[in-house]
């Protein structure tokens, strides 16, 4: 298994709101976070994707 090069963290608010989310959404978010950890945030294999501007921080 390759070593994860990226760390994905949720904000406290997002983490708490996961308790109220449907299980299907929580699972989808977990898969997305895992995909970003493994491959990084800049991807070309996602539909409807464009790269972020340098220096932009996204709080999830």
Res 27: pLDDT: 94
Res 4: pLDDT: 57
pLDDT digits (tens, 9 = 90+) for 3-48: 657 888 899 999 999 999 999 999 999 998 988 888 887 777 777 7
| C-alpha angle 55-47-57 in degrees, rounded to nearest 5 | 15
| Whole-angstrom distance, CA of residue 49 vs CA of residue 52 | 9
Band (pLDDT 50/70/90 cuts) for residue 56 is low
Res. 1: pLDDT tops 60: no
Q: Which two tokens stand for residue 52?
A: 């972020």
**Is the CB of residue 29 less than 8 Å from the CB of residue 60?**
no
The structural domains of the chain, with segments of one domain joined by +, span 11-42
């Amino acid at each position: 298994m390759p070593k994860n090069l990226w760390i994905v963290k949720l904000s406290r608010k997002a983490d708490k709101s996961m308790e109220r989310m449907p299980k299907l959404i929580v699972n989808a978010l977990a898969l997305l976070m895992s995909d970003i950890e493994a491959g990084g945030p800049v991807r070309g294999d996602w539909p409807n994707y464009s790269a972020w501007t340098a220096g932009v921080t996204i709080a999830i």
